[in-house]
Structure 1
Amino acid sequence: MESQAATMSSIPDPIGLSSWLALNSESLKPPVNAMYLYSGKDFILMAVGGPNTRNDYHINETEANHFSYQVSYDFPGITLCLYPLSIFHLSSPIYLVANTPHSPRRSKDTIGLVMERTRPPQMIDRVRWYCGNTEAHGGVPTIIREESFYCEDIETQLKEVIDNWMEDENSRRCGSCGVISPAH
Protein backbone atom coordinates (compact mmCIF):
# COMPACT_ATOMS: atom_id res chain seq x y z
CA MET A 1 0.00 0.00 0.00
CA GLU A 2 1.36 3.37 -1.04
CA SER A 3 2.01 5.88 1.65
CA GLN A 4 0.16 9.19 1.61
CA ALA A 5 3.49 11.02 1.15
CA ALA A 6 4.32 8.97 -1.97
CA THR A 7 0.85 9.62 -3.40
CA MET A 8 1.11 13.36 -2.72
CA SER A 9 4.51 13.58 -4.43
CA SER A 10 3.03 12.24 -7.69
CA ILE A 11 0.41 15.00 -7.87
CA PRO A 12 1.63 17.73 -10.23
CA ASP A 13 1.76 21.34 -9.09
CA PRO A 14 -1.23 23.47 -10.04
CA ILE A 15 -0.87 25.64 -13.13
CA GLY A 16 -0.75 29.35 -12.33
CA LEU A 17 -2.41 30.61 -15.50
CA SER A 18 -1.38 34.26 -15.17
CA SER A 19 2.28 33.38 -14.59
CA TRP A 20 2.21 30.71 -17.33
CA LEU A 21 0.85 33.28 -19.80
CA ALA A 22 3.49 35.83 -18.74
CA LEU A 23 6.17 33.27 -19.60
CA ASN A 24 4.60 31.76 -22.74
CA SER A 25 2.24 34.22 -24.45
CA GLU A 26 4.89 35.14 -27.04
CA SER A 27 4.76 31.51 -28.21
CA LEU A 28 1.08 31.75 -29.17
CA LYS A 29 1.83 32.46 -32.84
CA PRO A 30 -0.27 32.20 -36.02
CA PRO A 31 -1.77 30.40 -37.70
CA VAL A 32 -3.00 28.21 -34.82
CA ASN A 33 -1.78 30.24 -31.81
CA ALA A 34 -2.12 27.23 -29.47
CA MET A 35 0.15 25.82 -26.80
CA TYR A 36 -0.42 23.02 -24.32
CA LEU A 37 -0.80 23.92 -20.67
CA TYR A 38 -1.47 20.30 -19.83
CA SER A 39 -1.51 17.04 -21.78
CA GLY A 40 -2.62 13.99 -19.83
CA LYS A 41 -4.03 10.54 -20.32
CA ASP A 42 -7.64 11.71 -20.66
CA PHE A 43 -7.62 15.34 -21.77
CA ILE A 44 -5.53 18.24 -23.00
CA LEU A 45 -5.78 21.89 -22.01
CA MET A 46 -4.52 24.51 -24.43
CA ALA A 47 -4.06 28.25 -24.26
CA VAL A 48 -4.91 29.96 -27.53
CA GLY A 49 -4.05 33.55 -28.32
CA GLY A 50 -5.06 36.25 -30.72
CA PRO A 51 -4.90 37.55 -33.26
CA ASN A 52 -5.32 34.82 -35.81
CA THR A 53 -6.75 34.84 -39.31
CA ARG A 54 -7.83 31.26 -39.83
CA ASN A 55 -10.43 30.41 -42.45
CA ASP A 56 -10.36 26.65 -41.92
CA TYR A 57 -12.88 24.58 -40.00
CA HIS A 58 -11.46 22.05 -37.55
CA ILE A 59 -13.49 18.88 -36.97
CA ASN A 60 -12.53 16.51 -34.22
CA GLU A 61 -14.33 13.37 -33.14
CA THR A 62 -14.16 14.37 -29.48
CA GLU A 63 -15.99 17.03 -27.53
CA ALA A 64 -14.38 20.40 -26.84
CA ASN A 65 -14.91 23.17 -24.34
CA HIS A 66 -13.94 26.75 -25.25
CA PHE A 67 -13.50 29.40 -22.55
CA SER A 68 -12.58 33.06 -22.87
CA TYR A 69 -9.92 33.97 -20.35
CA GLN A 70 -8.64 37.37 -21.43
CA VAL A 71 -10.53 39.60 -23.79
CA SER A 72 -9.48 42.86 -25.37
CA TYR A 73 -11.28 46.06 -24.50
CA ASP A 74 -12.54 46.59 -28.03
CA PHE A 75 -13.82 43.06 -28.59
CA PRO A 76 -15.95 40.89 -26.29
CA GLY A 77 -14.04 37.62 -26.72
CA ILE A 78 -13.35 35.30 -29.59
CA THR A 79 -15.62 34.55 -32.49
CA LEU A 80 -16.43 30.92 -33.02
CA CYS A 81 -17.84 30.19 -36.46
CA LEU A 82 -19.67 26.92 -36.92
CA TYR A 83 -20.70 25.46 -40.25
CA PRO A 84 -23.41 25.89 -41.38
CA LEU A 85 -22.49 29.43 -40.52
CA SER A 86 -23.37 30.41 -36.98
CA ILE A 87 -21.31 33.02 -35.18
CA PHE A 88 -20.87 33.15 -31.42
CA HIS A 89 -19.00 35.88 -29.58
CA LEU A 90 -17.51 34.03 -26.66
CA SER A 91 -17.53 35.86 -23.40
CA SER A 92 -18.70 32.73 -21.63
CA PRO A 93 -17.90 29.02 -22.05
CA ILE A 94 -19.22 27.04 -25.00
CA TYR A 95 -19.35 23.27 -25.38
CA LEU A 96 -18.96 21.72 -28.83
CA VAL A 97 -20.22 18.23 -29.49
CA ALA A 98 -18.01 15.86 -31.45
CA ASN A 99 -17.76 16.39 -35.23
CA THR A 100 -18.80 20.06 -35.13
CA PRO A 101 -16.94 22.04 -37.83
CA HIS A 102 -15.59 25.08 -35.98
CA SER A 103 -13.30 27.96 -36.84
CA PRO A 104 -12.07 29.89 -33.80
CA ARG A 105 -11.13 33.45 -34.79
CA ARG A 106 -9.49 35.65 -32.21
CA SER A 107 -8.82 39.35 -32.15
CA LYS A 108 -5.67 40.97 -30.81
CA ASP A 109 -4.88 40.60 -27.12
CA THR A 110 -7.34 37.79 -26.42
CA ILE A 111 -6.60 34.51 -24.69
CA GLY A 112 -8.84 31.49 -24.61
CA LEU A 113 -8.64 28.07 -23.07
CA VAL A 114 -9.67 24.95 -24.95
CA MET A 115 -10.14 21.61 -23.25
CA GLU A 116 -10.42 18.51 -25.43
CA ARG A 117 -10.13 14.79 -24.94
CA THR A 118 -6.83 13.15 -25.72
CA ARG A 119 -7.37 11.47 -29.09
CA PRO A 120 -7.66 7.69 -29.01
CA PRO A 121 -5.76 6.17 -31.98
CA GLN A 122 -8.93 5.40 -33.97
CA MET A 123 -10.20 9.01 -33.84
CA ILE A 124 -9.29 11.16 -36.82
CA ASP A 125 -9.21 14.96 -36.92
CA ARG A 126 -10.14 16.82 -40.07
CA VAL A 127 -9.47 20.32 -41.34
CA ARG A 128 -11.88 21.60 -43.96
CA TRP A 129 -12.11 24.66 -46.18
CA TYR A 130 -15.30 25.83 -47.87
CA CYS A 131 -15.66 27.93 -51.00
CA GLY A 132 -16.53 31.52 -50.14
CA ASN A 133 -18.32 31.98 -53.46
CA THR A 134 -21.64 30.70 -52.09
CA GLU A 135 -23.66 32.40 -54.82
CA ALA A 136 -22.04 30.18 -57.46
CA HIS A 137 -23.17 27.11 -55.51
CA GLY A 138 -26.74 28.23 -54.87
CA GLY A 139 -26.00 28.81 -51.19
CA VAL A 140 -24.95 25.19 -50.69
CA PRO A 141 -21.73 24.78 -48.66
CA THR A 142 -19.07 23.50 -51.04
CA ILE A 143 -15.92 21.88 -49.71
CA ILE A 144 -12.73 22.91 -51.48
CA ARG A 145 -10.36 20.75 -49.51
CA GLU A 146 -10.33 18.46 -46.50
CA GLU A 147 -7.31 16.96 -44.75
CA SER A 148 -7.64 14.02 -42.34
CA PHE A 149 -5.03 12.97 -39.82
CA TYR A 150 -4.52 11.39 -36.42
CA CYS A 151 -3.79 14.34 -34.13
CA GLU A 152 -1.12 13.52 -31.60
CA ASP A 153 0.15 17.09 -31.24
CA ILE A 154 -2.21 19.89 -32.27
CA GLU A 155 0.52 22.53 -31.80
CA THR A 156 2.57 21.17 -34.69
CA GLN A 157 0.22 19.07 -36.83
CA LEU A 158 -2.60 21.58 -37.27
CA LYS A 159 -0.07 24.33 -38.07
CA GLU A 160 1.51 22.12 -40.74
CA VAL A 161 -1.85 21.47 -42.44
CA ILE A 162 -2.82 25.17 -42.38
CA ASP A 163 0.63 26.31 -43.60
CA ASN A 164 0.34 23.89 -46.53
CA TRP A 165 -3.05 25.41 -47.43
CA MET A 166 -1.65 28.95 -47.27
CA GLU A 167 1.40 28.11 -49.40
CA ASP A 168 -0.35 26.07 -52.13
CA GLU A 169 -2.62 28.31 -54.20
CA ASN A 170 -3.78 25.43 -56.38
CA SER A 171 -5.13 23.58 -53.33
CA ARG A 172 -7.31 26.62 -52.60
CA ARG A 173 -9.04 26.51 -56.00
CA CYS A 174 -12.68 25.42 -55.90
CA GLY A 175 -13.15 22.45 -58.21
CA SER A 176 -16.72 23.57 -59.00
CA CYS A 177 -16.48 27.31 -59.70
CA GLY A 178 -12.72 27.88 -60.06
CA VAL A 179 -12.47 30.64 -57.43
CA ILE A 180 -9.23 30.63 -55.46
CA SER A 181 -9.86 31.12 -51.74
CA PRO A 182 -7.64 33.51 -49.82
CA ALA A 183 -4.77 31.96 -47.86
CA HIS A 184 -6.24 33.23 -44.58
Structure 2
Amino acid sequence: MANNCHQIVGGPNARTDYHINQTPEWFYQYKGAMMLKVVDEGEFRDIIIREGDMFLLPGNTPHNPVRFANTVGVVLEQRRPKDSLDRMRWYCGDCGEIVHEAAFHCTDLGTQIKVAVQDFKSSEDKRTCSKCGTMADAAPKPGTIQDPNLA
Protein backbone atom coordinates (compact mmCIF):
# COMPACT_ATOMS: atom_id res chain seq x y z
CA MET A 1 0.00 0.00 0.00
CA ALA A 2 3.04 2.34 0.19
CA ASN A 3 2.61 3.23 -3.49
CA ASN A 4 -1.13 3.80 -3.12
CA CYS A 5 -3.30 6.37 -1.44
CA HIS A 6 -6.79 5.35 -0.42
CA GLN A 7 -9.65 7.62 0.55
CA ILE A 8 -13.07 6.91 1.97
CA VAL A 9 -15.32 9.67 0.71
CA GLY A 10 -18.87 10.54 1.70
CA GLY A 11 -21.38 12.94 0.25
CA PRO A 12 -22.74 15.35 -0.45
CA ASN A 13 -20.05 17.02 -2.55
CA ALA A 14 -20.31 18.82 -5.90
CA ARG A 15 -17.90 21.25 -7.56
CA THR A 16 -17.47 22.71 -11.04
CA ASP A 17 -13.81 21.83 -11.58
CA TYR A 18 -12.42 18.78 -13.32
CA HIS A 19 -9.40 17.10 -11.73
CA ILE A 20 -6.69 15.66 -13.97
CA ASN A 21 -4.34 13.12 -12.43
CA GLN A 22 -1.56 11.58 -14.52
CA THR A 23 -2.13 8.16 -12.96
CA PRO A 24 -5.28 5.98 -12.98
CA GLU A 25 -7.89 6.17 -10.21
CA TRP A 26 -10.03 3.25 -9.01
CA PHE A 27 -13.52 3.96 -7.67
CA TYR A 28 -15.62 1.56 -5.60
CA GLN A 29 -19.07 2.67 -4.49
CA TYR A 30 -19.82 1.16 -1.07
CA LYS A 31 -23.17 2.86 -0.32
CA GLY A 32 -25.53 4.60 -2.75
CA ALA A 33 -24.63 5.85 -6.21
CA MET A 34 -22.28 8.61 -7.33
CA MET A 35 -21.82 10.45 -10.60
CA LEU A 36 -18.40 10.78 -12.23
CA LYS A 37 -18.44 13.61 -14.75
CA VAL A 38 -15.67 13.09 -17.33
CA VAL A 39 -14.34 14.65 -20.50
CA ASP A 40 -13.69 11.70 -22.81
CA GLU A 41 -12.00 12.62 -26.11
CA GLY A 42 -13.57 16.08 -25.97
CA GLU A 43 -17.06 14.80 -25.05
CA PHE A 44 -18.67 15.63 -21.70
CA ARG A 45 -20.20 12.48 -20.17
CA ASP A 46 -21.76 11.46 -16.87
CA ILE A 47 -20.89 7.99 -15.56
CA ILE A 48 -23.11 6.63 -12.79
CA ILE A 49 -21.26 4.33 -10.39
CA ARG A 50 -23.89 2.43 -8.42
CA GLU A 51 -23.62 0.76 -5.02
CA GLY A 52 -21.31 -2.26 -5.32
CA ASP A 53 -19.85 -1.12 -8.66
CA MET A 54 -16.21 -0.41 -9.48
CA PHE A 55 -14.77 1.86 -12.15
CA LEU A 56 -11.16 2.36 -13.30
CA LEU A 57 -10.55 5.87 -14.61
CA PRO A 58 -7.56 6.11 -16.98
CA GLY A 59 -4.82 8.59 -16.14
CA ASN A 60 -5.05 12.08 -17.66
CA THR A 61 -8.86 11.94 -17.86
CA PRO A 62 -10.53 15.17 -16.68
CA HIS A 63 -13.06 14.13 -14.05
CA ASN A 64 -15.41 15.65 -11.52
CA PRO A 65 -16.71 13.27 -8.82
CA VAL A 66 -20.20 14.21 -7.62
CA ARG A 67 -21.30 12.57 -4.39
CA PHE A 68 -24.79 12.71 -2.97
CA ALA A 69 -26.15 12.70 0.60
CA ASN A 70 -25.78 9.44 2.53
CA THR A 71 -23.35 7.88 0.03
CA VAL A 72 -19.91 6.40 0.70
CA GLY A 73 -17.22 5.43 -1.78
CA VAL A 74 -13.61 4.32 -1.83
CA VAL A 75 -11.03 5.87 -4.16
CA LEU A 76 -7.63 4.29 -4.71
CA GLU A 77 -4.89 6.35 -6.34
CA GLN A 78 -1.21 5.80 -6.96
CA ARG A 79 1.18 8.05 -5.09
CA ARG A 80 2.30 10.79 -7.42
CA PRO A 81 5.73 10.52 -9.05
CA LYS A 82 7.98 13.44 -8.02
CA ASP A 83 7.76 15.06 -11.46
CA SER A 84 3.98 14.72 -11.86
CA LEU A 85 1.49 17.57 -11.91
CA ASP A 86 -2.15 17.39 -10.94
CA ARG A 87 -4.41 19.89 -12.65
CA MET A 88 -7.73 21.47 -11.78
CA ARG A 89 -9.60 22.61 -14.88
CA TRP A 90 -12.78 24.64 -15.32
CA TYR A 91 -14.76 24.61 -18.56
CA CYS A 92 -17.21 27.14 -19.95
CA GLY A 93 -20.78 25.92 -19.49
CA ASP A 94 -21.85 27.63 -22.73
CA CYS A 95 -19.12 26.84 -25.28
CA GLY A 96 -17.03 24.10 -23.58
CA GLU A 97 -13.73 26.00 -23.77
CA ILE A 98 -11.21 25.75 -20.94
CA VAL A 99 -11.76 28.82 -18.76
CA HIS A 100 -8.97 28.29 -16.22
CA GLU A 101 -6.47 25.65 -15.18
CA ALA A 102 -4.34 25.38 -12.05
CA ALA A 103 -1.42 22.91 -11.80
CA PHE A 104 0.46 21.65 -8.75
CA HIS A 105 2.51 18.70 -7.54
CA CYS A 106 0.07 16.86 -5.31
CA THR A 107 1.18 16.26 -1.74
CA ASP A 108 -2.17 16.84 0.04
CA LEU A 109 -5.07 16.73 -2.41
CA GLY A 110 -7.73 17.93 0.03
CA THR A 111 -5.82 21.06 1.01
CA GLN A 112 -4.50 21.84 -2.47
CA ILE A 113 -7.92 21.48 -4.12
CA LYS A 114 -9.41 23.93 -1.62
CA VAL A 115 -6.73 26.52 -2.43
CA ALA A 116 -7.25 26.15 -6.21
CA VAL A 117 -11.05 26.30 -5.89
CA GLN A 118 -10.94 29.39 -3.65
CA ASP A 119 -8.50 31.10 -6.03
CA PHE A 120 -10.86 30.44 -8.96
CA LYS A 121 -13.96 31.44 -7.01
CA SER A 122 -12.49 34.77 -5.92
CA SER A 123 -11.38 35.91 -9.40
CA GLU A 124 -13.87 37.12 -12.01
CA ASP A 125 -10.99 37.28 -14.48
CA LYS A 126 -10.18 33.57 -14.01
CA ARG A 127 -13.89 32.70 -14.28
CA THR A 128 -14.50 34.58 -17.55
CA CYS A 129 -14.35 32.55 -20.78
CA SER A 130 -11.92 34.15 -23.23
CA LYS A 131 -13.86 32.73 -26.19
CA CYS A 132 -17.48 33.73 -25.46
CA GLY A 133 -17.27 35.97 -22.37
CA THR A 134 -19.50 33.77 -20.17
CA MET A 135 -18.75 33.84 -16.44
CA ALA A 136 -18.14 30.26 -15.29
CA ASP A 137 -19.96 29.11 -12.17
CA ALA A 138 -17.84 28.66 -9.05
CA ALA A 139 -20.36 26.12 -7.71
CA PRO A 140 -23.07 24.02 -9.36
CA LYS A 141 -26.42 25.77 -9.62
CA PRO A 142 -29.08 24.15 -7.41
CA GLY A 143 -31.14 21.58 -9.29
CA THR A 144 -28.71 21.15 -12.20
CA ILE A 145 -27.41 17.73 -11.09
CA GLN A 146 -29.87 14.82 -10.90
CA ASP A 147 -29.29 12.48 -7.95
CA PRO A 148 -29.42 8.89 -9.32
CA ASN A 149 -30.33 7.67 -5.83
CA LEU A 150 -33.72 9.38 -6.13
CA ALA A 151 -34.63 8.02 -9.58
Q: Structures share a fold, TM > 0.5?
A: yes
| 1:107 counterpart residue number | 68
**Contact 2:14 2:65 (C-alpha < 8 Å) held by counterparts:** no
Identity of aligned residues (%): 36
Code of the residue aligned with 2:105 in structure 1: it is: Y
Q: What secondary structure is seen at the aligned counterpart in 1 of 2:126?
A: helix
Bigger Rg over Cα? 1
Equivalent position to 1:80, from 17, 36, 42:
36
User: Does residue 59 of structure 1 match 2:15?
Assistant: no
More helix by share: 1
Q: Which runs of 5+ in 2 are unaligned?
A: 140-151
Matched length: 134
**Structure 2 counterpart of 1:82, which letter?**
V
Partner deviation per Cα, 1:22-43 (whole Å, 9 max, x = no partner): xxxxxxxxxxxxxxxxxx5301
Cα distance in 1, alignment partners of residues 116 and 104 from structure 2 = 9
Runs of 4+ in 1 over 6 A off after TM superposition: none
Query: Which residue of structure 1 lines up, in the alignment, with residue 121 of structure 2?
Result: 166
Aligned residue for 2:28, secondary structure, equals strand
Structure-1 separation of matches of 2:19 and 2:59: 11
Q: 1:149 aligns with which of 86, 92, 104?
A: 104
Higher relative contact order, chain-length normalized (CA < 8 Å, sep 6+): 2
Deviation at 1:111, TM superposition (A): 1.4
CA–CA separation in structure 2 for the residues paired with 1:106 and 1:163: 20
User: What is the TM-score with the length of structure 1 in the denominator?
Assistant: 0.70
| Aligned-residue RMSD, C-alpha | 1.2
Structure 1: 5+ residue stretches without partners = 1-39, 72-76, 135-140
| Alignment-derived partner of residue 183 in structure 1 | 138
CA distance in 1, matches of 2:2, 2:60: 21
CA distance in 2, matches of 1:172, 1:133: 13
Q: Could you give the per-residue CA deviations for residues 112-158 of structure 1, whole angstroms, max 9, x where no partner exists? A: 11100000111110110110012xxxxxx310001111001112111
The CA deviation string for residues 2-26 of structure 1, in whole angstroms up to 9 with x for no partner, is xxxxxxxxxxxxxxxxxxxxxxxxx
The AA in structure 2 aligned to 1:104 is P
SS of the aligned residue for 2:65 comes to strand
**Does the alignment pair 1:90 with 2:46?**
no
Question: By percentage of residues, which structure has more strand?
Answer: 2
